Amino acid sequence: MSIVPPAPGEPRRPHGPRDPGDAWVETPTGERYWGRFGAAGLLAIDPDRGVLLQHRVSWSHHGDTWALPGGARHQGESAHDAALRESAEEAGVPAGVIAPRFVSVLDLEVWSYTTLVGDVVVPFEPVISDPESRALAWVPVAEVDRLPLHPSFAESWTMLRPLLETRPVVVVDVANVMGSVPDGWWRDRAGAADRLLERIGTLAASGVPASALSLGGTRWFTPFVAVVEGQAKAVDADPEGVVIVRAAASGDDEIVAQTGALADPTAAVVVTSDRGLAERVRALGATVHGAGWLLDLLA
């Protein structure tokens, strides 16, 4: 465990006007939750050092426990932005170093807490910049349970921990998905593929519902691999979150190759309504959904 203790003269969060979100929410039965518009936190995963946790000071809510850097959402602020802002304010997490993997939402109707789980793509050292922190630490996943955890985080950790090993990838048979909708795609295959890829990029950015992937959590920012063939290889689209693969010959063979080359083919979801191709990728352990599955998500 790598701990960053407080040091004299370290910067503190600047004092200024309080946001309307900085307030307690009380339920009809008397429970109180911080954040008028809900709250959010970041579970940052470093492949070498573990997860970033905050040791809370004794006078804070459930003090002397370990939890995620996070706090109340601001008025009009998304939970995603709140998690990144709070982690920057409380732990010095720099902008652009986290690649979101999935989100999990605890929704109590009167109040919600969103956990953004993200991978550290640029290593950084946390910095204590908030008076509520006693220390910050990179904690190996196997050692998190040994710490005195904030009760709410302890409860969510039992669900989050198994998901840290899951890395789903969606592989799309673009020709098959295009061919399932008689919208004139045959007149301009590259143009139709461009439009489909842009829509897939929008889905990748907003996240795939966890239920569609049969996973825990709420939404997953899973990468997409889109295989194009024939005239569709002339596509211009290059949406973020989508890897476009131009098949040199058979599109089916390329999809099988791409699925087999994944670190864990059993975590792959292949989108195709081609029965022969479906059998080939299922033999690799992949899950198969027809074109309608993806089209419903895009809608």
- Neighbouring residues of 15: CB distance < 8 A, sequence distance ≥ 6: none
Q: What is the pLDDT averaged over residues 286-291?
A: 98
The model's pTM is 0.87
Proportion of the chain above pLDDT 70, given as a percent: 92
Q: What is the pLDDT averaged over residues 128-137?
A: 84
In this prediction, residue 58 has a pLDDT band, given cuts at 50, 70 and 90, of: low
Cα–Cα distance for residue pair 120/128, rounded to 1 Å: 18
In this prediction, residue 60 has a pLDDT band, given cuts at 50, 70 and 90, of: low
Q: What is the pLDDT averaged over residues 265-269?
A: 97
Cα–Cα distance for residue pair 210/232, rounded to 1 Å: 30
Cα–Cα distance for residue pair 234/254, rounded to 1 Å: 17
Cα–Cα distance for residue pair 176/121, rounded to 1 Å: 34
Q: Would you say residue 43 has pLDDT above 60? A: yes
pLDDT of residue 1: 62
Q: Would you say residue 6 has pLDDT above 60? A: no
Q: Would you say residue 33 has pLDDT above 90? A: no
In this prediction, residue 95 has a pLDDT band, given cuts at 50, 70 and 90, of: very high
Q: Would you say residue 119 has pLDDT above 60? A: yes
Domains and CATH numbers, the chain: 2-163 (3.90.79.10), 169-298 (3.40.50)
